[in-house]
Amino acid sequence: MKFFIVIFLLLVGSFSVQSEEMTSSDENEGSFDVIGLVMEHITDAHQWHVLDYTNRHGQRVHLTVPLPVILWHEGKFWFFSSDRFYHSSEPVALGNDFVVLHDERFYLTDFDGTIHTDKEGHIVNASVADFSITQNVASMFLSVALILWMFLSAARNYARYGMAPPKGFRAVLEPIILFVRDDIARAQIPGEKADKFVPFLITVFFFIWINNLIGIVPFFPGGSNLSGNISFTATLAVCAFLAINLFGSKSYWKHTFTAPGIPFPVKFILVPLEIIGMFTKPFALMIRLFANITAGHIIILSLISIIFILKSLYIAPMSVALSLIMYLLELLVAVLQAYIFSLLTALFIGMSTSKSEH
């Protein structure tokens, strides 16, 4: 409980600092840019924002962790620190060209660093292939470090103690591993093949779950919206697609491409549908995870923003209470989405690897 109180104090604290900044910059309109705030929090960034505060000299201090920027241009990689883009208005030289960071995207510019837009406001400057370790990538590395630490220490303990009932951390890990193995893999994938997919499903489950959890921690090492990022979910969906189709049985392909037992004219409708279905299944996985996690982040941010929209402290208890409820819900959603993603993947794998006709 103390932990949650600390989380909320920090959350409210960090937002209040930002609201000062926002209101002082948007003083003419006197309004609070909720959409900007929300978008800033759910999109990726090239630096890891920790804290903003005003020091005793009245200067704004932005406490951030600079992250490496890796750009691919003119056939080679360029490495920078993100500090060079955030804390200067000068464009950075990139071979014969110059590059600026605008709304977390890199654009090639002239030496003066101007961004050109067309009549509809779209930026016409060429963008650069960006392989930076962004906030999301750093957060992903953190999750991988956590997962590896969890599993490798558990594996070492299993090798050492083996038969003994699990203690400490293993007692938490083991039921989840058993759950994935028995209730996801073995329940959905028939026969001997189930155990072959268990490592994949366990990896998917923990990768999504741990990243969801990191995403709902509101302060420094967390808070990134990685599992609510379409790139992340799309990658996992492609992995699921490969897992489903690379190990497809003969009868699965026959079923997909010939639709046996169906009158011949109907096959012209059914076979394209089946082929589309191959792609819609992982596509649905991608959208589901993305939408659930992003929506959770947006709701919590909006609830907190109510305080600054209404500019009233009296609304704060309600905001905090509602976002507490949302946080609890998000904890559930974090594990639920990991479960649904791995369960549906297992289900589709089971459908594609089974030998029997449907």
Whether the CA torsion 168, 173, 178, 179 is positive or negative: it is positive
- The reply to whether 134 sits near other proteins by the rule CB under 8 A is yes
DSSP structure class, residue 116: P
Candidates 11-19, 21-29, 55-63, 193-201 — which segment interacts with other proteins by CB under 8 A?
A: 193-201
Return the number of the residue (211 or 256) whose C-beta is nearest other proteins: 211
Q: Which is nearer to other proteins, 244 or 259 (CB)?
A: 244
Binding residue (CB under 8 A) for other proteins from 92, 137, 216, 344: 137
> Counting contacts by CB under 8 A, is residue 130 touching other proteins?
yes
CB of 317 to other proteins, least distance (A): 31
Torsion, Cα 5 219 302 32, to 10 degrees, reads: 110
CB of 278 to other proteins, least distance (A): 20
Q: 287 to each of 236, 238, 292, how far by Cα in Å?
A: 11, 12, 8
- Residues in region 60-89 near other proteins by CB under 8 A: 70
Strand order across the beta sheet in which 76-81 lies: 76-81, 68-73, 129-130
Task: Tell me which residue has tokens 């003066």.
Answer: 112
Residue pair 148/154 in contact (Cβ under 8 Å)? The answer is no
- Return the residue of 8, 44, 213, 285 that touches other proteins, per CB under 8 A: 44
Contact between residue 45 and residue 33 where contact means Cβ atoms under 8 Å apart: no
* Residue 285 found at the interface with other proteins (CB under 8 A): no
CB of 311 to other proteins, least distance (A): 28
Cβ-based nearer residue to other proteins, 198 or 259: 198
| 78, 131, 179, 220: which one binds other proteins (CB under 8 A) | 131
Q: Is 127 helix (H, G, I), strand (E, B) or coil?
A: strand
42 vs 351, which CB is nearer to other proteins?
42
User: Which of 61, 129, 171, 269 forms a contact with other proteins (CB under 8 A)?
Assistant: 129
Residue 117 DSSP label? B
Number of residues this chain uses to bind other proteins (CB under 8 A)? 47
Instruction: Find the binder of other proteins among 10, 147, 217, 271 (CB under 8 A).
Output: 147
313 near other proteins, judged by CB under 8 A: no
Q: Which of 107, 232, 241, 327 binds other proteins (CB under 8 A)?
A: 232
Give CA–CA dist 243/200, Å, rounded.
Answer: 9
In terms of Cβ atoms closer than 10 Å to its own Cβ (0-12, 13-18, 19+), residue 99 is buried
What's the Cα-to-Cα distance from 71 to each of 45, 133, 216, 340, rounded to whole Å?
Answer: 15, 10, 29, 36
Residue 127, beta-bridge partner list: 107
C-beta closer to other proteins: residue 224 or 323: 224
Cross-strand partners of 76: 73
Give yes or no for residue 231 binding other proteins (CB under 8 A): yes
Contacting positions for other proteins (CB under 8 A): 42-44, 70, 129-134, 136-137, 140-141, 144, 147-148, 151-152, 154-156, 158-159, 162-163, 174, 177-178, 181, 195, 198-200, 202-203, 207, 229-232, 234-236, 238-239, 294
